Amino acid sequence: MPSKKPLILVTNDDGIFAKGIKTLVEEMIHLGEVWIVAPDKPQSGMGHAVTIHDPLRLASENFGVPGVKAFSCSGTPVDCVKLAIYRVLKRKPDLLVSGINHGSNSSINVIYSGTMSAAVEGAVEGIPSIGFSLLDNDSDADFTPARKFVRQLAEQALKQDWPLGVCLNVNIPKLKESQIKGVKICRQAQGFWSDAFELRKDPSGKQYYWMTGAFNNPDKGEDTDEWALEHHYVSVVPVSFDMTAHQAIGPLNTWDFNEK
Amino acid sequence: MPSKKPLILVTNDDGIFAKGIKTLVEEMIHLGEVWIVAPDKPQSGMGHAVTIHDPLRLASENFGVPGVKAFSCSGTPVDCVKLAIYRVLKRKPDLLVSGINHGSNSSINVIYSGTMSAAVEGAVEGIPSIGFSLLDNDSDADFTPARKFVRQLAEQALKQDWPLGVCLNVNIPKLKESQIKGVKICRQAQGFWSDAFELRKDPSGKQYYWMTGAFNNPDKGEDTDEWALEHHYVSVVPVSFDMTAHQAIGPLNTWDFNEK
């Protein structure tokens, strides 16, 4: 008799051996049949990159959680999702979860994030997809307080009608579970990075730069993910892969495209 | 006396020595003072990737167009934009143009495209930004028919009120200039890629995959970029970096986040 368990695809951008994906898998095994296809090395900041000019490798891994099938992939998080759907899984998954990221993907970080790009790719494929991030960059971060919310959101995702063309960007504050006030549905805060590039010289005297920077959020709206996180809520932003700025179509139609 | 010419930043994802960026620069020199910061190698499909774990190199280049300052960068298109703004240019540019890409960035390609991610990054920085793409993947593609439209759009961008938080995704059909009917403001068609992965073996017998695939567009709307391009128009889609799916906030608020 075929399994009636939901099929859950797990990926991330910190690599298959990160602590965050372990936590995520440990929660997902209570909800369905879990398959992992995740990068073989950290892929933070990879955005929606795909590998076009290089071949991809896929390797079976012993993930150490009974019943879980795991594969590492040499590519980006989006490559992992594509390979999983078109090569590894026998059918389209019922749920895709990505993370738990070590660090925030709130506000504008959604566009740089490999974690979120994997979830966006799931949405493009018509799969209910959630990216989870904990506001703690530490490779040994404590994911315990995130567990309850991760499970709750995944359960709801499997139960409720999923909004078409959407994935969820879930950020969890770095707090004890008892300090977290609950879950808030938000919009993406209009924040941005002021970047800086630190100039150094290598041993042969050649210059190079390290990117650094500071996050700025002039958007004080109380309906934003930044507001929710600052006020001890888990933020949930529905994210669309339709990037059309519909409100700009009218104004652009007044431009003159027929002059010489 | 300081120059009153507009400051124009040019980048791309095919690399600083691609034919498309040469064409773009040749048009931009009529409109302002041109600075190039572009990848030192092809970066197609890099999406919104940024380089976090590696240092970045920047090198002055002789681009071969008088009066143009040019730099190659070891990073992604988004790295190029960040380095240009925070390290190379003396002031914020009046216009950022990216491309001309060798190949389409219509529909869902906007999220995979390095060309468009550079333009999106410009928008995040508050700079009027346009990504240009010609529907011809050939490295020796004929960009002549694109010239008029590239110049027209850049001129309008420097003249008109720019819509806040938006960049433009401009795709140009592979046709003679006389066959192109004009410019259409569009929304992103809801297309997607059916991917396939071709399995091969390397000389040592190990398996690897090449990503291939076919673009599908079930979206038959006559207001889409795909429709415009098929009907011999230049498509212009305003693109937002706010990825919030605002229409999904209501439905998500009916979910139950308080159960155990």
Assigned token pair, B36: 């190039």
Whether A16 contacts A61, CB under 8 Å: yes
Distance CA B118, CA B167 (A): 10
- Give A-chain residues touching B58 at CB under 8 angstroms: 207, 209
> Are the C-beta atoms of residues B234 and B183 closer than 8 Å to each other?
yes
Distance from CA of A25 to the nearest CA of B (A): 19
Contact A258 B46 (CB under 8 A): no
Task: Tell me how far apart the alpha carbons of residues A162 and B77 are, in angstroms, rounded to a whole number.
Answer: 34
Question: What one-letter code names the amino acid at A52?
Answer: I
Q: Which of A243, A255, A256, A259 to mutate to test the interface with B (most CBs of B within 10 A)?
A: A243
**B234: which strand partners?**
B183
pLDDT value of residue A2: 52
Interface test with A, best of B48, B82, B83 (most A CBs within 10 A): B48
Angle between helical axes of A19-28 and A147-159 (0-180°, round to 10): 50
Chain B nearest CA to A93, separation (Å): 16
Q: Which of B168, B198, B210, B211 to mutate to test the interface with A (most CBs of A within 10 A)?
A: B211
CB < 8 Å to A125, chain B: 192
Partners of A44 on chain B (C-beta within 8 Å) are 52-53
Residue B1 distance to chain A (closest CA, Å) = 30
Among A30, A46, A50, the strongest candidate for a mutation testing the B interface, having the largest count of B CBs within 10 A, is A50
- State the pairing for strand pair A182-185/A233-240: parallel
Kindly state the percentage of chain A with pLDDT values over 90.
Answer: 90
Cα–Cα distance measured from residue A237 to residue A123, given in angstroms and rounded to the nearest whole number: 14
| Closest residue on chain A to B152 (Cα) | A257
pLDDT at A116 over 60: yes
Residue contact B211–A79, C-beta within 8 A: yes
CB contact under 8 A, B208 and A241: no
Interface test with A, best of B242, B246, B254 (most A CBs within 10 A): B242
Tell me the three-class secondary structure of A146-179, residue by residue: HHHHHHHHHHHHHHCCCCCCEEEEEEECCCCHHH
Residues B94-114 have pLDDT tens digits of: 999 999 999 999 999 999 999
pLDDT at A260: 44
Distance from CA of B110 to the nearest CA of A (A): 8
- Angle of the B147-159 helix axis to the B19-28 helix axis, nearest 10: 50
Quote the radius of gyration of chain A (alpha carbons, Å): 20
Question: Under 8 Å CB-to-CB from A46, ≥6 apart: which residues?
Answer: A13, A76, A77, A78, A114, A117, B47, B49
Find the closest chain A residue to B125 by CA distance: A192
Q: What is the mean pLDDT of residues A92-113?
A: 97
Q: Give start and end residues of each alpha helix (H) in chain A.
A: 19-28, 77-83, 109-112, 114-124, 147-159, 225-230, 249-252
Task: Answer whether B110 sits within 8 Å of A252, measured CB to CB.
Answer: no
**Å between B163 CA and nearest CA of chain A:** 6
Structure confidence at residue B260 as a pLDDT band (50, 70, 90) = very low
Calpha distance A245→B188 (Å, rounded): 9
The whole-angstrom distance between B183's CA and the closest CA on chain A is: 7
| Tens digit of each residue's pLDDT (9 = 90 or more) over B170-181 | 999 999 999 999
Which of A183, A192, A247 lies nearest to residue B257, judging by beta carbons? A183
The answer to whether the Cβ–Cβ distance between B209 and A87 falls below 8 Å is: yes
Mean pLDDT calculated for residue range B194-202: 91
Mean pLDDT across A188-209: 93
Residues in chain A within 8 Å Cβ distance of B183: 257
Q: Which residue has the tokens 């608020």?
A: B253
Structure tokens at A73: 């992939």
Q: What is the dihedral of CA B134, B135, B139, B144, to 10 degrees?
A: -50
Q: Which residues neighbour A20 within 8 Å (Cβ) at sequence distance 6 or greater?
A: A12, A14, A99, A100, A101, A102, A132, A134, A141, A143
Residue B156 Cα, gap to closest chain A Cα (Å): 7
Q: What is the mean pLDDT of residues B21-32?
A: 98
Contact B152 A247 (CB under 8 A): no
Mean pLDDT in residue range B152-157: 96
H-assigned helices in chain B: 19-28, 77-83, 109-112, 114-124, 147-159, 225-230, 249-252
Here the tokens at position A227 are 């507001």
Question: How many angstroms away from the CA of A111 is the closest CA of chain B?
Answer: 6
pLDDT band at B4 (very low <50, low <70, confident <90, very high): confident
Smallest Cβ–Cβ distance between A45 and the set B50, B187, B237 belongs to B50
When pLDDT is averaged across residues A109-132 and rounded to a whole number, the result is 96
- Residue B195 is nearest to which of A82, A182, A209, comparing CB atoms? A82
- Segment B189-195 shows an average pLDDT of 93
Cβ separation B56–A211 shorter than 8 A: yes
**pLDDT tens by residue, B48-80:** 888 888 899 999 999 999 999 999 999 999 999
- Nearest residue of A to residue B157, measured between CA atoms: A255
A chain contacts of residue B196, beta-carbon cutoff 8 Å: 86
Per-residue confidence band for A256, with pLDDT thresholds at 50, 70 and 90: confident
Out of A50, A55, A185, name the one closest to residue B253 (CB). Answer: A185
Residue of A nearest to B200 (CA): A55
CA distance A76 to A39: 6
Task: Summarize the confidence of residues B161-184 as an average pLDDT.
Answer: 96
H or E segment and range at residue A236 = strand A233-240
Minimum CA–CA partner of B209 in chain A: A56
Lookup: tokens for B105: 């960035």
User: Rounded to whole angstroms, how far apart are CA atoms B125 and B131?
Assistant: 15
State how far residue A60 is from chain B, nearest Cα, in angstroms. Answer: 12
